């Protein structure tokens, strides 16, 4: 299974025909794409009942990735891991549909094992599910940082645009591959070309042989994310069909 989705489930009117049927945007979205990334959780703590309602309104196969609140990653900069308690009390109401916890770090946050180590240790004491980290400072792209993330089973997301060259490929714990695409050259707006998506599909198929694999499009500002996600999904289906007929 390769989980393809977008950052948010809003359906632009231009793509409404691809999400037919009755129901909320989330219900319609979840009948077409298998995963979504919740970004609003970065800005506010949703009520546990809200997460439970989202889980109840989606199919059994559907999965959510949830971005950690900015108080954890940006304001306190991993120095107060106890802030995870209230956050996790909400997101765990997704139950089995909680696919990944995402830690997006600010560009100014340098890698410090004296901070990152205790944070990851506390996190793992509270949550055993898949975790991915999207660092934006070059100091995180080192063998030392990779080794620490592997120790605590934290994957390093593969992103575009990447803060350093090696950031375009997954790192950290190899049991999870999480790809996060923000749009390039204009971040959050630019659509990805068919050639880019074809190469991406090949990489995802390769990575999925070794790890649970996700690909989230965050180029949502212009509506490109939905189109790119649907195109990539069709490419992967076509590749699967070809493989099954060999």
What average pLDDT score do residues 90-117 get?
98
DSSP conformation class of 180: E
- Cβ neighbours of residue 121 under 8 Å, at least 6 residues apart? 152
Name beta bridge partners: 7.
Answer: 37
Distance CA 229, CA 198 (A): 12
Stated pTM of the model? 0.96
The CATH-assigned architecture of domain 2-244 is Alpha-Beta Barrel (3.20)
Render pLDDT for 155-176 as a digit per residue (tens, 0 to 9). Answer: 999 999 999 999 999 999 999 9
What letters, b where the CB count within 10 A reaches 16 and e where it falls short, cover 220-234? beebbbbbbbbbbbe
Render pLDDT for 8-56 as a digit per residue (tens, 0 to 9). Answer: 999 998 899 999 999 999 999 999 999 999 999 999 999 999 999 999 9
Res 246 pLDDT > 80: no
pLDDT band at 243 (very low <50, low <70, confident <90, very high): very low
- Cβ neighbours of residue 223 under 8 Å, at least 6 residues apart? 12, 14, 15
What average pLDDT score do residues 182-200 get?
97
- Cβ neighbours of residue 104 under 8 Å, at least 6 residues apart? 42, 67, 68, 73, 133, 134, 136
Res 244 pLDDT > 80: no
Distance CA 77, CA 114 (A): 12
Q: How confident is the model at residue 242, as a pLDDT?
A: 55
Render pLDDT for 115-150 as a digit per residue (tens, 0 to 9). Answer: 999 999 999 999 999 999 999 999 999 999 999 999
Res 245 pLDDT > 90: no
CB 105 within 8 A of CB 131: no
- Order of strands across the sheet that contains 171-172: 158-160, 176-181, 212-217, 2-7, 35-38, 63-67, 98-104, 131-134, 154-156, 171-172
Residue with tokens 């120790």, as numbered in its chain = 151
Helices then strands, counting H and E runs in the chain, come out as 8, 10
Which tokens go with 26?
A: 């989330």
Distance CA 10, CA 220 (A): 9
| Residue 198 backbone phi and psi in degrees, to 5 | -65, -45
Res 217 pLDDT > 50: yes
**CA neighbor of 123 nearest in space, from 80, 64, 170:** 80
């Amino acid at each position: 299974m390769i989980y393809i989705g977008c950052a948010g489930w809003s359906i632009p009117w231009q793509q409404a025909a691809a999400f037919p049927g009755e129901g909320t945007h989330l219900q319609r979205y979840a009948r077409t794409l298998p995963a979504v990334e919740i970004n609003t959780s970065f800005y506010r703590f949703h009520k546990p009942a809200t997460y439970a309602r989202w889980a109840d309104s989606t199919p059994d196969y559907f999965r959510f990735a949830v971005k950690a609140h900015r108080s954890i990653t940006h304001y306190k900069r991993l120095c107060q891991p106890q802030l995870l308690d209230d956050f996790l009390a909400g997101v765990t109401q997704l139950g089995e549909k909680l696919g990944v916890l995402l830690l997006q770090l600010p560009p100014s946050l340098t890698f410090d094992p004296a901070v990152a180590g205790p944070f990851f240790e506390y996190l793992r004491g509270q949550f055993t599910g898949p975790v991915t980290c999207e660092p934006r400072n070059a100091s995180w792209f080192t063998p030392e940082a990779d080794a620490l993330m592997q120790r605590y089973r934290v994957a390093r997301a593969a992103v575009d645009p990447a803060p350093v060259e090696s950031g375009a490929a997954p790192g950290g714990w190899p049991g999870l591959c999480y790809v996060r695409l923000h749009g390039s050259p204009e971040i959050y707006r630019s659509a990805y070309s068919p050639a880019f998506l074809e190469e991406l599909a090949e990489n995802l198929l390769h990575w999925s042989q070794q790890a649970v694999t996700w690909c989230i499009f965050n180029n949502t500002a212009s509506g490109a994310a939905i189109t790119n996600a649907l195109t990539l999904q069709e490419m992967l289906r076509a590749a699967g069909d070809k493989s099954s007929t060999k």
